[in-house]
Chains A and B, each alone.
Chain A
């Protein structure tokens, strides 16, 4: 925590800011990209959202109160940016968020930045049927392998509720894949 406070000071000091921000980028761009990509599914969209996320992080550094960890604060910004992006894209196309996601999944096979087979597609199709929060929890736990404590800090949900939600999500996904 002490170390993080020092790092935040470096990020706020105009003299060390650029160097510190580069360090932040290098450390978080991969996990944040994965987190965003799991929500928006398309690489170009994920790239746009990741850029917006880091711009927001940079612009709001002085507002970061240190009440939460830098890590969970950045994940929260990324999650909000990704969900907002999805909703705006769905609105622009005049469809629901779920329809848009289904369409993106159908197009995954033709996506040059997707290297998967039927089971991946089926899994994605099962996830889309879940409520938004359950989707997030499942992706963060199963794909991103975050700890319940970390997910709890990011989403502001208790560990107990997260465990229950994840368990439910797994059951629904297993039922869907078995049936299809």
Chain B
């Protein structure tokens, strides 16, 4: 059998061929495709950008929740109306309980000095006869 030697043989071509005008068509097709591919890249980036914004918004909301809670829910100041309603509708707190909670200073504070002269009271009474009725009762 004859030994095959690559260098002794005439150059062997691959034998691969291409369709007619393949390269002309290829470059034209490629150039038409390019801007499209480019916009695709931008659109993917834009979509990623939206995700970043969405994530940032959620993060801001999540971080502000504790602040919101501190401001409103855990407020140590309770407004008077809420306190009054609480006391009124919770029968377990009786007037006696409340009185027991008051000290001398509180009672002093409650003492309203109307600073009215007797004459003024008399005048008032004479002008409004029905007031006398209230007082008598």
Q: Which residues from chain A sit less than 8 Å from chain B, CB to CB?
A: 18, 21-22, 25-26, 29-30, 33-34, 37-38, 41, 43, 47, 50-51, 54-55, 58-59, 108, 113-117, 119-120, 123, 142-143, 170, 173-174, 177-178
Residue of A nearest to B8 (CB): A174
Q: Do B6 and A174 touch (CB < 8 A)?
A: yes
Minimal beta-carbon separation of B103 from chain A (angstroms):
80
Minimal beta-carbon separation of A10 from chain B (angstroms):
15
A residues within 8 A CB of B62?
A: none
Minimal beta-carbon separation of B9 from chain A (angstroms):
8
A residues within 8 A CB of B5?
A: 174
**What number of B residues sit within 8 Å (CB to CB) of A?**
25
> In the complex, which residues 6-57 of chain B have their Cβ closer than 8 Å to any Cβ of chain A?
6, 9, 12-19, 23, 26-27, 30-31, 33-34, 37-38, 41
A residues within 8 A CB of B19?
A: 43, 113
Does B1 touch A at the CB level, under 8 Å?
Answer: yes
Q: Do B27 and A178 touch (CB < 8 A)?
A: no
Q: Do A143 and B14 touch (CB < 8 A)?
A: yes
Residue of A nearest to B9 (CB): A119
A residues within 8 A CB of B9?
A: 119
What separation, in Å, do the CA atoms of A25 and B6 have in the docked complex? 33
Other than A43-B16, A113-B16, A114-B16, give 12 A-B pairs with Cβ distance below 8 A.
A22-B31, A29-B23, A33-B23, A47-B26, A113-B19, A117-B15, A120-B12, A120-B13, A142-B6, A143-B13, A177-B4, A178-B2
